[in-house]
A = this chain, B = another copy of it.
Amino acid sequence: MSPARPARKVTKKAPAKKPARAARAKAVAVLAKPAKKGNAQRVYSFEEGNASMRAILGGKGANLAEMSRIGLPVPPGFTITAATCIEYQKLGQFPAGLEEDVWTALAALEKKAGAKLGDSANPLLVSVRSGAAVSLPGMMDTVLNLGLNDATVEGIAKASKNPRFAYDSYRRFLTMFGDVVLGLPHHGFEERLNRLKARLNVTQDTAIGAADLKALCQEYKAYIQEKTGKPFTQDPRTQLALAIEAVFASWNNKRAITYRDLNKIPHDMGTAVNVQMMVFGNMGDDCATGVAFTRDPSTGEKVFYGEFLQNAQGEDVVAGIRTPQVISKLGNIIPAAYKQLVAVAKQLETHFRDMQDIEFTIMRGKLYMLQTRVGKRTGFAAVRIALEMLDEKLISESEALLRVSPDNLNQLLRPIFDSKEKAAALKNGKLLAKGLNAGPGAATGRVVFTADDAVEWHRKGEQVVLVRDETSPEDIHGMHASEGFLTARGGMTSHAALVARQMGKVCVAGCSSLRIDGKAHAFAVGDHLVREGDWISIDGFTGEVILGKMTTLPSEVVQVLVEKRMHPSMAPTYQLFDRLLRMADKVRRMKVRANADQPDQADTAIAFGAEGIGLTRTEHMFFGPGKIEHMREMILAENEAERREALKDLLPLQRADFEGIFRAMGSKPVTIRMLDPPLHEFLPHEEKEQRQMALLMGIGLNELQERIAALRESNPMLGHRGCRLGITYPEITEMQARAILEAAVRVKRDGVDVHPEIMIPIVGHASEFVHQEAVVRKVAEQVFKESGTKVAYLVGTMIELPRAALTADEIAKHAEFFSFGTNDLTQTTLGISRDDAASFLGPYMESKLIPADPFATLDQAGVGQLVQMGTQKGRATRKDLKVGICGEHGGDAESVKFCHRTGLDYVSCSPYRLPIARLAAAHAVLEEKQKAK
């Protein structure tokens, strides 16, 4: 079971999309440094900048400058600042003086390059690239070979002694310039190239000779004139100015704005523009271009990892015509440059103290570094790299922790296929194809061919695998709805691979044996046809595509911790996971607890590091045969006497459950919530069940149905539930308190230092709490007297109504602890019923009216305000008030950090979210320390 190879990007076709959180953090960091105003320097040569100038020069520019600064072979160039972009946005034109600055910088560049822009004898060609402080997909990315015109192309031909190379460069430039600077449709160029190839009867671009390429360039220029009404500009300075302006303008194109809105990136950052001398990897066999990672971004292994193409330009890697070679082979082809590249890679990793993702070109045997940046990695790799770099003393423990995002840990918990079932499937010839293992995990689902279909099927409750030639940003909604993606084209560098890793989806990419017929809603491999709706299974760890539905199984970590069917020593991933979390545990201030309703869940919670139980929902214990009947009798009782009779039967069942949980948790605190949901949730809704129930109770079906109808509510969420039930029927609270305390007494007698915490739900007024607390304490006194054993226990409340948070000072006079029930608090604060939200919350998120699902990530501005208020007011009354959170937000990293900042004592979440909570709680401490510096 080896984790997948990662994806990465080479050109604009596959824009890097940072996770929203990182982007936001960076955006904030950038904003913290005020941009210089007025006559600040607008243009920096690479030698003038450094890595710390990210806000001014953008990420790409700052790193190019840094590489120059430390003496690496970077083609010379200069960067126009991001602030200048904003000036441009405001003015609608270049600010006064900018052109002069550019020409001055260009002159210096020309001097270093020993060539001149537009000099037909010795022409300088440049690339123009955007580069914001935060990576932004959707912006104009790159124009290569700028500076070519009808004269300089001849100069290049002469200088390179390769007219074909010169005209190939020219037609590439015309295409890029026409497409991204002039905004002409790309297919206009594509069609003309294809017509030419048809006429020449060739299939490969490389088969076109210099003369034909020259003619193609003429055609392209004619096309540009036809479409723009003006001839293609032969003036390289005009070309450069237009390209710079196009980069500036792309900052505010629709996709970029949407992306910024979605990721809360400020709109006033702007993008820098990098102008750099062109170097060519396609001038012969002593040339190459490639990308590499300083460690394996998929497994985290410390090996130099990457791919390259000999005699090629970067964009050729994506075009998919030639398959890149693994980087080590470069040592056989251009040994000196490779040796240097390995050394540079090592230097860069040591210098930047993180795994780097680099781009390089070798021109006539000479190595040029074109980019370096922190490499994206899988969750597996993130953990391994962080811990190994720590062992190498490259980074500190704090840094190691911060290198792993809490959500990364999800990947280590991701499912795998049942190995026997898979082996059988493979033996039975179910292996359909093999692609790249681009997104780790195991997924099974029904085939769909469009993003819309994925959403549609998903809405119907189906699990789907999205199959496409390649994916694009337009497919994101469908990718969200899918278990995994299978693509025919694109490799580890593809959009699908990238997104898979970010979303934590399974991906098998570049499965070239697939022939997809989108119109027929089917794909074929050989003569095997797979239609829409058929089941397939994809293994994102191995790249295998298997016919049919397969069972997915828990991850290695889960097998060690939960299922205990793997020994830790056999589980290297588990060992890394465990080590990292132990480090996190040393750092975090907040405790973590789990929500668990049954003894077995308590065991799992302990395995995942729970330091207590933050929420036991007693009502979950009432379901299941042998229990629900008594519960129903209790609910349908006509009077207190009948109710007490039914409660008597429920008491031993509840007590047994509590006893099991107390034994599992030992001396750790266990918070038990009293009966919470509206009673009719427990009632039989089908007539068959109703008949049985009526029989059991010795009443007629009609009468039973009448009693059920009487319990029906218009808005059960806001109805007769929680402590309202306990107040109108105190005998329910009495029974539950008795079950809890009798169980606690039994366990304590066996020497366990049990710590029950009894939690009263849906309290809105302090008087409600006082009422229920009195019932509990009275029962406790009785139980202690009867048993002769006393147990220390607390009585506290859930803060899950706005009024409770608003009057927390009053409630804290009586309650010994608070636990924020952020699920219900979100429902009431936002006035949104989770059960009914689908009809509008989906559209809301799609149209960015709200940034995230408030039931997944805490709405800090609204609900969070009440959490802060409730905590402050509660502690104002009772200084040592224990405060926690037990909504589902307790397992969301951003929400956990918010809880830390708010001063909560603990978060409680489902056992499987505990790793995220533990690491996020540590991050919160470390980020606080960073901020304090």
Contacts and interface: CB of A to CB of B under 8 A. Distances in A.
A810 B810 CA distance: 29
Contact of A831 (B762, B771, B810, B849): B762
A905 to B, nearest CB: 24
A832 interface: yes
A862 interface: yes
B717 A718 contact: yes
Contacts of A849: 727, 765, 767-768, 771
Contacts of A830: 764, 801-803
Interface in A677-732: 713-720, 724, 727-728
Contacts of A800: 831
A835 interface: yes
Interface string A812-852: 00000000000010011111110111011001100111100
A685 to B, nearest CB: 13
A-side interface mostly: helix
A716 B714 contact: yes
Given A768-B849, A824-B831, A862 B803 contact: yes
A688 to B, nearest CB: 21
Given A717-B714, A861-B807, A728 B831 contact: no
Nearest to A843: B728
A420 to B, nearest CB: 43
A844 B763 CA distance: 13
A863 B801 CA distance: 11
Contacts of A810: 861
Nearest to A827: B718
Contacts of A862: 764, 802-803, 806-807
Nearest to A762: B831
Interface residues of A, number: 49
Contacts of A843: 727-728
Contact of A717 (B715, B802, B824, B863): B715
B714 A835 contact: yes
A866 interface: yes
Contacts of A844: 727
A522 B806 CA distance: 52
A349 interface: no
B715 A840 contact: no
B831 A801 contact: yes
A859 B768 CA distance: 15
Interface in A836-887: 836-837, 839-840, 843-844, 847-850, 859, 861-863, 865-866
A828 B840 contact: no
Contact of A718 (B807, B836, B859): B836
A638 to B, nearest CB: 15
Given A727-B844, A843-B728, A849-B727, A836 B803 contact: no
Contact of A839 (B717, B720, B828, B839): B720
Nearest to A725: B840
Nearest to A715: B833
Contact of A840 (B727, B806, B839): B727
A859 to B, nearest CB: 7
B836 A806 contact: no
Interface-central residue, A727, A728, A828, A843, by most chain B CB under 10 Å: A828
Nearest to A801: B831
Contacts of A764: 830-832, 862
B801 A836 contact: no
A832 B718 contact: yes
B836 A713 contact: yes
Nearest to A718: B833
A828 B850 contact: no
A798 to B, nearest CB: 11
Nearest to A862: B803
B767 A833 contact: no
Most B CB contacts (10 A, CB to CB) among A720, A727, A768, A803 go to A803
A828 B802 contact: yes
9 contacts: A714-B716, A715-B835, A718-B827, A719-B836, A719-B839, A720-B840, A764-B832, A771-B849, A803-B863
Interface of A: 713-720, 724, 727-728, 762, 764-765, 767-768, 771, 800-803, 806-807, 810, 824, 827-833, 835-837, 839-840, 843-844, 847-850, 859, 861-863, 865-866
Given A717-B718, A762-B831, A807-B861, 9 more contacts: A715-B833, A717-B831, A719-B833, A727-B840, A767-B849, A771-B849, A800-B831, A828-B828, A828-B829
Q: Kindly list the 4 A-B residue pairs having the minimum CB-CB distance in the complex, ordered from nearest.
A: A718-B833, A715-B833, A803-B862, A719-B836
